[in-house]
Amino acid sequence: MIAQHDGIAVLPTADVDGHQPVEAPARFDVLRFTRALLAAADPAAMVRKIGEELRARVVLFDHRRQILAAYPAVMRVDRTPPQTAAEAPVTAGERILGWLRIEDVAIPGELLDLCAGVIATALSRDHADHDDERAIHGRAIAAIIGGGDLHAASTVLTEAGIDFDSPIYLVLALHRRSAAAPTWNCPEGPDCCVSAIVDDRAVVLLQRAADVRRHAEGLLCASSSDGAAGCVGIGGPARGTTGLRIAFAEASSAAKVGCGINESRPLEVSELLALHLDQTLTEQAERLLEPLMHFDRKRGAELMATLRVLLEEDFSLVRTAKRLFVHQNTVKYRIAQISELLGVDCATLRDRVQLWVAVQALAGSTAH
């Protein structure tokens, strides 16, 4: 416990190892100290106030051990705490926002926890503000991807610093079912960086090629948990709203390759087709394929799944039967059902192309 005399805290003059603090104040008012911290404008000001009051070196890290603030402002900081340092996590509920380190002064654990708790309130506000910004940016990106109000969406991103006439790089991290959507706050710096959450994917927009890898590594770290690496994809460079849609598709496709950081690859025609959907094409696809979907729902059948595999396997009976774990005669029977329900001839190239376009269009619309 912190010793109290007449409402004034008395700090010990040496720690358990006999280390003598550097000009540690012997007595100070904890209540006044707390009020001074709460009055500070931001976490950096709080760190400075702690350092001044305790005559100590103070460092505030984020959850990735990146330095957020330090007192004195110009000081060498080791990631590993020195023996004369005390550290405490800065938390909001079960979420670790960062770490507070106080060096060269013997500080009671209760006072260290007090400092960390006050800083946590400020960091929580900052995180809430960032969450709001990410949500706004995410809605703008989603509108561009899904063919929404392009003018309004591009205006939001332009005001955030994105120049659509210049190359845009997009870094994306997939959501893991066992964890919340990863977050990555763009660090201070000269590079333009816009952070967003699109559905359950963390997205970062950049405009300098030199910054892409650094942000990809940061997003990978943020999306990795429980010993499992995250899945990060990179898309671009691209220009304009159409380019952003392509970069998003490239990054999404790359992230699905596996864990780690995956570079983009050229999109297939079917993937590009899905990027340029309009409502008419989607409606036509739904109208054509609705008889199959209705039959599947009513009978518990798998005609849509069979059609997708048939198209992927160039209507090969052998390969389709093998993938579906059914007999070839079953595949033949399903082809006959598909032809009858849709009024098409699956033996002709023209109708196969029509089915392929419809399936890709429907898959693209539901993906958004």
pLDDT of residue 20: 44
| Location of each CATH 1.10.10.2840 domain in the chain | 279-367
Report the topology of domain 279-367.
Arc Repressor Mutant, subunit A (1.10.10)
- What Cα–Cα distance (Å) separates residue 184 from each residue in 59, 127, 172, 208? 21, 10, 10, 17
Quote the pTM value.
Answer: 0.51
- Alpha-carbon dihedral of residues 105, 107, 111, 113, nearest 10 degrees? 90
pLDDT of residue 291: 92
Distance CA 313, CA 315 (A): 5
- What Cα–Cα distance (Å) separates residue 79 from each residue in 214, 243, 342? 19, 40, 65
pLDDT tens, the chain, 368 aa long: 444 434 444 444 334 344 444 444 445 577 888 888 888 878 888 888 888 888 888 888 877 677 888 888 765 666 666 677 888 888 877 777 788 898 877 778 888 888 888 888 887 776 665 666 778 888 888 888 877 788 888 888 888 888 999 999 999 888 654 344 455 555 544 456 788 878 778 888 998 888 888 888 888 877 776 556 778 999 988 888 888 888 898 898 888 888 888 888 767 656 666 665 555 567 778 888 999 999 999 999 999 999 999 999 999 999 999 999 999 999 999 999 999 999 899 999 888 988 998 888 787 665 54
Residues 6+ apart with CB under 8 A from 189: 211
| Location of each CATH 3.30.450.40 domain in the chain | 3-125
On whether the CB atoms of residues 69 and 115 are closer than 8 A, the answer is no
CATH 3.30.450.40, applies to 3-125: yes
